[in-house]
Amino acid sequence: MAVTGMACGQITDPTATEFYEPVPPKVQPGSEMGAPPSDAIVLLGPGADASEWVDDDTQGPAEWTSEGDALVVKPGSGYISTRRKFGDMQLHVEWKSPDEPDKEGQGRGNSGIFLQGRYEVQVLESEGSDTYTNGQAGSIYKQTPPLVNALKPMGEWQRYDIIYSAPHFSKDGIVVRPAYVTLLMNGVVVLNNFEIKGATEYIGLPHYLPHGDDVIKLQDHGNLVSYRNIWVREL
């Protein structure tokens, strides 16, 4: 119940600022850290069931390799994308870089998570390897570096929790509200409501083109990056 037309000093009844609707629906949290809550859509669960994913080019079955509960990039097979499309969301992803200390920079454990198929959250083994800061793990690729580097050592599982607000466009395709993203890396905030400047570009500046809900993509960059325990909550 909204209170309007009344200065704060005129309210004498405490119940005037209390309301009872809407009642938030109950969501059962996961049984342990990182486990999906009751309203989550599980995109990659135990046994690395890839049924929620397709080859991004052919739309056929994803060709990445299942290893236990993980899905591992198959170099040269291409990106994979979700069958479903999403807008605003909470996204949980766990990933692990391969043990390749001989590689450097962008050649070391490189992959990426593309929100709505076009805004890349970088996945990279950038602990102890020099690269441009807006291309290291936790960056929005080529747009902003993470606030801090909270990576665990090479070969350990990393955890991303992403809160994403999709952009809104007018009927004429003008950006009414840009996309925003908050990212926690292993429980540490590394992006805080960052305004995404447009679709990820390798060369040149980012820019927006109008779109609606769209897929999540995982990148094949030629490195044996593993993914597990991926789930999403639509917001």
Q: So what's the architecture of 30-234 in CATH? A: Sandwich (2.60)
Question: Which helix (H) or strand (E) covers residue 188, if one does?
Answer: strand 188-195
* Strands 158-165 and 70-72, sheet pairing: unpaired
For residue 172, is pLDDT > 70? yes
- pTM score: 0.93
What are the extents of the domains in the chain? 30-234
Return the DSSP state at 51.
Answer: T
User: Tokens in use for 211?
Assistant: 């779109």
More confident residue, 225 or 3: 225
145-166 pLDDT tens trace: 999 999 999 999 999 999 999 9
State which amino acid sits at residue 89.
Answer: M
66-118 pLDDT tens trace: 999 999 999 999 999 999 999 999 999 999 999 888 888 999 999 999 999 99
Residue 105 φ then ψ, to 5°? 55, -130
Cα–Cα distance measured from residue 190 to residue 72, given in angstroms and rounded to the nearest whole number: 25
Q: In Å, how far are 27, 42, 72, 91, 222 from 36, measured between CA atoms?
A: 11, 7, 21, 10, 29
Which pLDDT value is given to residue 119? 98
- Residue 3's pLDDT band, with cuts at 50, 70 and 90, is very low
